[in-house]
């Protein structure tokens, strides 16, 4: 009810209120949620095939597995068959209608070698690829095929296709596409949007369902362990690939509300006309003043900064993303490096010490990512990147056994 999936809505839920009838306020009773007494469990069919192998005198060992999962009878709202005009579309319980496929593979390759009695090397890489596809969900009837979730990944972004920025009045005068569906008046700095359906109008019908979401398709890691006499070193790396991130609202919040992480300076690279007056200046001035900016930036990376908090570039209320703001959130991070030295036992016997090891370790040391200067991609756990970033840590210690 009210946007929350009611998994156990098998009974009617009633609410009370008041309504004027014939000039008199009458107490009323209404059904908050229509029941579904036919709820059942989701069904899953899983198939997998794998292999384990070792070769080159057992120096290498390999594990490889392919899997396929088909899940049916997923509880979803049946919005596709009940129009909003019915008055009960938001009161219907979910039904066991959804179906999703998920397939991929996992692997692990390890290497073990010894040179003489003093040198030991161990290394390994592992990873997993998984991509789901929505087979069926109850979608709004009549929506264009290019907006459907079916055939795409769960959570696939719906976005306008960015097509540049109106840099000046002359550029606006050359425009022949109707933007009245998103703004009352085009002004310099506004975003150009691709007319996908070719009707010469920009509106919600021009948004496209992308085959991108903020769930990584590929996760991987690597380990390395080296031991030579009393010296030892280990390393652990972790990363993800095929992950996209849409910063959403706070792309525009930083300059005039609160700066979030290091994305704040990135926000400042937005369009600011070289010469503005009248309505155009009035439109932008509050943003400029709040951001402490007075310089022109007609070639800014972002369109004009809006004083309203809209996902799109215009204040039309259309909650639709822009491909301009999609970021590649893939990363590789050096999670841990540890180096140590174990004192030879011959030097410890007189002190009745069995083992003494001195070590230094570091966590979250380095990161390779195209967005690391804006925010920590590993902290994108809520879709917004507001999670506290991972901290770089160092430690020096001693392992002592008597």
SS (H, E, C) 251-319: HCCCCCCCCCCCHHHHHCCECECCCCCHHHHHHHHHHHHHHCCCCCECCCCECCCCCCCCCCCCCCCCC
Q: Residue 175: how many CA atoms within 13 Å on its side-chain side?
A: 28
pLDDT of residue 66: 98
Residue 212 CA to its chain's centroid (Å): 9
Length of the chain counted residue by residue:
402
Q: Which helix or strand (DSSP H or E) is residue 169 part of? A: helix 169-173
The pair of structure tokens assigned to 244 is 């996209």
pLDDT tens digits along 152-165: 999 898 888 988 88
| Greater pLDDT, 60 or 262 | 60
Q: What is the mean pLDDT of residues 174-196?
A: 86
Q: First vs last Cα of the chain: how many Å apart? A: 63
Give me the percent of the chain exceeding a pLDDT of 70: 79
Global pTM value: 0.77
pLDDT at 2 over 60: no
pLDDT at 292 over 70: no
| C-alpha span between 178 and 163 (Å, rounded) | 15
Burial of 85-98, coded b for 16+ CB within 10 Å and e otherwise, reads: eeeeeebbbbbbbb
Selection from 224, 193, 192 nearest residue 208 by Cα: 193
Q: Virtual CA dihedral for 191, 242, 101, 380, nearest 10 degrees?
A: -80
pLDDT tens digits along 33-49: 777 778 889 999 999 99
pLDDT at 96 over 80: yes
pLDDT tens digits along 198-234: 999 998 899 999 998 888 999 999 999 999 999 999 9
| Greater pLDDT, 119 or 252 | 119
pLDDT of residue 319: 54
The pair of structure tokens assigned to 359 is 């070590």
| C-alpha span between 239 and 383 (Å, rounded) | 18
pLDDT tens digits along 349-399: 777 788 889 999 999 998 999 888 777 888 776 566 667 778 899 999 998
pLDDT at 118 over 50: yes
């Amino acid at each position: 009810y009210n946007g929350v999936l009611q998994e156990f809505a098998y009974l009617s839920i009633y609410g009370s209120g008041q309504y004027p009838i014939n000039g008199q306020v009458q107490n009323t009773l209404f059904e908050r949620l229509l029941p579904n007494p036919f709820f059942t469990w989701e069904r899953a069919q899983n198939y997998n095939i794998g292999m384990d192998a070792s070769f080159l005198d057992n120096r290498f060992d390999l594990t490889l597995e392919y899997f396929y999962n088909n899940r049916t009878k997923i509880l979803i709202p049946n919005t596709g068959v009940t129009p909003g005009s019915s008055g009960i579309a938001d009161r219907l319980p979910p039904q066991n209608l959804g179906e999703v496929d998920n397939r991929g593979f996992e692997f692990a390759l390890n290497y073990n070698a010894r040179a003489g009695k003093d040198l030991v090397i161990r290394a390994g890489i592992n990873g997993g690829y998984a991509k789901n596809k929505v087979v069926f969900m109850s979608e709004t009837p009549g929506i264009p095929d290019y907006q459907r979730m079916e055939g795409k990944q769960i959570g696939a972004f719906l976005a306008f296709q960015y097509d540049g920025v109106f840099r000046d009045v002359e550029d606006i005068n050359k425009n022949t596409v109707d933007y009245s569906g998103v703004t009352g008046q085009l002004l310099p700095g506004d975003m150009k949007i691709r007319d996908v359906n070719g009707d010469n109008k920009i509106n919600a019908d021009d948004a496209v369902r992308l085959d991108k979401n903020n769930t990584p398709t590929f996760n991987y890691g690597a380990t390395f362990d080296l031991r030579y006499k009393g010296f030892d070193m280990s390393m652990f790396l972790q990363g993800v690939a095929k992950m996209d991130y849409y910063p959403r609202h706070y792309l525009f919040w930083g300059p005039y509300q609160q700066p979030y992480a290091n994305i704040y300076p990135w926000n400042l690279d937005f369009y600011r006309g070289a010469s503005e007056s009248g309505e155009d200046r009035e439109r932008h001035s509050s943003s400029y003043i709040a951001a402490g900016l007075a310089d022109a930036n007609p070639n800014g990376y972002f369109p004009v900064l809006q004083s309203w908090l809209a996902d799109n570039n215009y204040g039309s209320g259309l909650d639709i993303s822009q491909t301009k703001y999609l970021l590649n959130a893939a990363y590789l991070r050096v999670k841990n490096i540890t180096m140590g030295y174990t004192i030879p036992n011959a030097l410890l016997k007189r002190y009745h010490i069995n083992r003494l090891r001195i070590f230094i370790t570091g966590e979250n040391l380095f990161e390779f990512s195209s967005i690391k200067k804006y925010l920590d991609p590993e902290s994108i756990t809520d879709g917004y990147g507001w999670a506290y970033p991972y901290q770089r840590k160092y430690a020096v210690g001693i392992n002592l056994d008597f």
